[in-house]
Amino acid sequence: MTEAREVVLSVQNLTRRFGGLVAVAEVSFDVLAGEIVALIGPNGAGKTTLFNVVTGVYQPSEGDVFYLDESLADLQPHEICRRGIARTFQNIRLFNGMTVLENVMIGRHTRTGAGLHDALFGLRRHRHEEKDGRERARHLLEFVGLTGQEATIASDLPYGHQRRLEIARALASEPKLLLLDEPAAGLTPAEKTELKELIEAIRGHGITVLLIEHDMKFVMGISDRVVVLDYGRKIAEGIPEEIRRNPAVIEAYLGTGAETGVA
Amino acid sequence: MTAEGGIVKRRKLGKAAAWLGVILFLAWLPSFLPFSVEWNIGSWLDPIWLRLFGHSSGIETYRIDIGLHHATLAALFVIMAMGLNLSIGFAGLLDLGFIAFVAIGAYIMAIELTRVPLNSDSVRVFSAWWAVIPLCIFGAVLVRVALGATCLRLRGDYLAIVTLGFGEITRVALKNDLFGLTGGPDGIFLSPRVMPEFFSDPEPLYYLAAALALLSCFTLYRWKNSRAGRAWEAVREDEVAAAACGINVFRAKIWAYGLGGVFAGLAGALYALHNTTAHPTDYDFIESVKVVVMVVLGGMGSIAGVAFGSVVFILLLEVLRGLAHYRMLIFGATLVALMVFRPQGLAGRAGK
Ligand SMILES: Nc1ncnc2c1ncn2[C@@H]1O[C@H](COP(=O)(O)OP(=O)(O)OP(=O)(O)O)[C@@H](O)[C@H]1O
Ligand SMILES: [Mg+2]
């Protein structure tokens, strides 16, 4: 089923320490082109930290991360974005004082290049990119279901819409790989269904998705493969049915007393 | 669609009309100045305890005197405020030493003007004063970029402290005759023999300053709605998210901060000509505070707001001059009230 598909992201023996705390410990896994992979694990398992290392917020302590065979270890976040990895944040990080449209247009930063002089003299490059950028941003807002909100200040949006705006902003950079950190957190069941459809539509556009999620029903329903972390270590990896029955996973979740619906 | 097009067109027309109005206003302003009024206020200004004991402060008339040089001053402060608006308003870099870069521009202008040797009539004939302006700008930008490269990785409060310190160091250095060039505590006086002929009347300087102030506003207006402008605002709002969107945060900050030097150097060059001196006391910490207040008062990031705020601030200082030392009291109270009731400034965007 996964034969001969391109490896988009390859996490190899990744360790990240914070002082004495090992947040991610010798984790390895691959994400193949066109997949939806879920990264799960109890609170504090190191999922967000792994995202942060992939996107250059933190350097790996040991090991490496490869994106299309290029090491990301020494790259800064903006360079990683430029290569085609976009992300959202667990605690939504929008540009709060700016409008919805501006937020998405900032997402296009790496796909545009008009300089200060272009803007000052109103040169063609600036004018073209602004017009084109606005159009594309509108399309993306339509795609995530935020039509008509272009002029709203981002922080005035309801929570669920903020999550979608963050996804639209990430998509604006035309990524190959999209990292979603708990996109369904705090959403109503109806919103979760819409989000599932949205993520599938994103995959439909050829974008590979790696997502962190706690809602097991959501995870099992959407992912091709699941990677499970516990105390920084990878304890399991496989298709949803295998994970559901995996004793180590059940143990990890029951151990924390979390209500996950795994069993 | 067509209705929307019509609205856009009308809005554009409205904007053009507003600009035209501003330009006409500035063009005719000199004919209304100086403006001078005087009221007899008796002992109205005297505090109650003075009156109780039968004393008087001696202030019995209230005068408002506004001359063309105040209009010029306001224009120069608009230029400065635009430069600082780039740092504070756009990129969110709190700079408390901005006036130091204005001083650099002013001193370069003064040094260059007085460097030219006297001719046989013991007059310095240096008509190319305008050619010095790029040098003033270059100097200010250079120092600003150098300072920025070392301290822009600092966050918020630390940056404010470093820039504050730099402002003070600059002032003290100028006062101590830096490189034997800055004339020590007396500064550099630009006597009528040194001043370019062009500025023997006050009008040309006013028109020059007003035109450049407009140009500064226009520049910021263009930058605000551009790729770079949005990147600066993104950095201000959230550095981590900005980086994740592909923005080189440090580079964006250096640009915003360094470009502020263009405005500072330019304003400084004209400020020296306006004051006919480059003097260390003109570049006190309080001057930096003034520019910060203009930017915050007008509404950070808003161009019309900051321009308006600067003019109002300068004129208000003159209008209140008759209050003597109560001036700053009232000023402080006004600022506090403003921050309480309109924390986003006069024209700032509401919201967090
Ligand atoms: N910058 C940091 N400095 C120190 N410790 C950190 C830092 N970031 C994360 N940690 C620690 O690393 C561990 C893993 O945190 P992380 O946020 O990656 O967990 P997570 O799996 O995303 O959990 P959650 O499901 O609650 O979001 C935690 O113990 C956390 O306290
Ligand atoms: Mg997390």
Tens of pLDDT along A28-81?
999 999 999 999 999 999 999 999 999 999 999 999 999 998 999 999 999 999
**pTM metric for this prediction:** 0.87
Domain that residue B48 falls in: 36-65
Residue predicted with more confidence, B296 or A87: A87
> What's the domain count of chain B?
2
Strand extents, DSSP E, A33-187 = 36-40, 62-67, 70-71, 85-87, 177-181
Average pLDDT over every residue of A201-217? 94
Instruction: With a cut of 60, say whether residue B219 has pLDDT above it.
Output: yes
Judgement on whether residues B61 and B76 belong to the same structural domain of the protein:
no
Q: Give the Å distances, CA to CA, from B351 to A105, A148, B298, B345, B347.
A: 20, 20, 16, 12, 12
**Is ipTM over 0.95?**
no
Taking the C-alpha atoms of residue B266 and residue B264, their distance in angstroms, rounded to an integer, is 5
A119 vs B246 pLDDT, higher one: B246
Examine the domain organization and report whether B57 and B120 are in the same domain. no
How confident is residue B122, by pLDDT bands cut at 50, 70 and 90? low
- In this complex, the residue of A78, A115, A119 whose CB is nearest that of residue B248 is A78
* Residues B42, B189 share a domain: no
Query: Which of B65, B86, B112 is the C-terminal boundary of a domain?
Result: B65
pLDDT in tens, B146-183: 999 888 887 767 888 888 999 889 888 888 877 777 77
**Residue B108 sits in the same domain as residue B256:** yes
- Chain B residues with CB-CB distance to A130 below 8 A: 225-226
Q: Is residue B179 part of a domain?
A: yes
Q: How large a percentage of chain A has pLDDT more than 70? A: 95
Q: Name the pLDDT band for B350 (thresholds 50, 70, 90).
A: very low
Question: What stretch of H or E contains A139?
Answer: helix A124-144
The tokens 């521009």 sit on which residue?
Answer: B105
How far apart (Å, rounded) are the C-alpha atoms in residues B317 and B332?
12
Q: Which range (A94-108, A225-239, B13-27) has the least confidence? A: B13-27
Pairing mode, strands A225-230 and A233-238: antiparallel
Ligand 1 atom closest to the CA of A51, numbered from 1: 18
CA distance linking residue B94 with residue B237, whole number of Å:
13
Point out which residues pair with A7 in neighbouring strands. Answer: A32
Q: Are residues B132 and B238 in the same domain?
A: yes
Q: Which range, of A21-35, A54-68, A243-257, B27-41, averages the lowest pLDDT?
A: B27-41
pLDDT band at residue A263 under the 50/70/90 scheme: very low
Task: Report whether pLDDT(B346) > 70.
Answer: no
Whole-angstrom Cα distance, residue B97 to residue B284? 9
Q: Answer yes or no: is B120 within a domain.
A: yes
Q: Are residues B257 and B165 in the same domain?
A: yes
Q: Is the residue at B326 inside a domain?
A: yes
Q: Is the pLDDT of residue A262 over 50?
A: no
User: Which of A55, A86, A122 lies closest to B222 in CB terms?
Assistant: A122
Whether residue B166 is found in the same domain as residue B143: yes
More confident residue, A190 or B63: A190
Q: Do the domain assignments include residue B42?
A: yes
Decide which of A211 and B187 is more confident. Answer: A211
Residues B160 and B57 in one domain: no
In a domain, residue B13? The reply is no
Q: Using one digit for the tens of pLDDT, what is the confidence trace for B256-271? A: 999 999 999 999 999 9
Ligand 1 atom 4, closest CA: A18
pLDDT at position A125 over 80: yes
Q: Does residue B21 belong to any structural domain of this protein? A: no
Same domain, B186 and B111: yes
Q: Do A119 and B230 touch (CB under 8 A)?
A: no
> What's the rounded Cα separation, in Å, for the pair A164 and A181?
12
Question: Would the pLDDT of A1 be above 60?
Answer: no
Cα–Cα distance, B47 to B52 (Å, whole number): 9
Residue A131: CB partners within 8 Å, gap ≥ 6? none
Q: What percent of chain B has pLDDT over 90?
A: 30
B154 and B276, same structural domain?
yes
- Residue that is last in its domain, among B47, B65, B83: B65
B15: in domain? no
In this predicted structure, what is the pLDDT of residue B305? 83
Mean per-residue pLDDT of chain B: 82
Please tell me whether residues B61 and B112 are part of one structural domain.
no
pLDDT band of A178, cuts 50, 70, 90: very high
Q: How far is B218 from chain A (nearest CA, A)?
A: 8
Has residue B5 been placed in a domain?
Answer: no
Ligand 1: which of A14, A16, A17, A18 to mutate, judged by most atoms within 8 Å of the beta carbon? A18
Q: Which B residues in the span 211-240 are in contact with A, Cβ-Cβ below 8 Å?
A: 219, 222-223, 225-231, 233-234, 237-238, 240
Write the CATH number for B218: 1.10.3470
| Cβ-contact B124, B140 below 8 angstroms | no
**pLDDT computed for residue B1 by the predictor:** 46
Alpha carbons B285 and B168: distance in angstroms, whole number = 7
Mean pLDDT of all residues in B62-72: 79
Please name the residues in contact with B275: beta carbons below 8 A apart, sequence gap of 6 or more: B106, B282
Question: Which runs of E-coded beta strand occur in B110-234?
Answer: 188-189
Task: Say what the pLDDT of residue B143 is.
Answer: 94
Let me know whether B193 and B50 are in one domain. no
Which domain-ending residue is among B48, B65, B82? Answer: B65
pLDDT for the residue numbered B47? 66
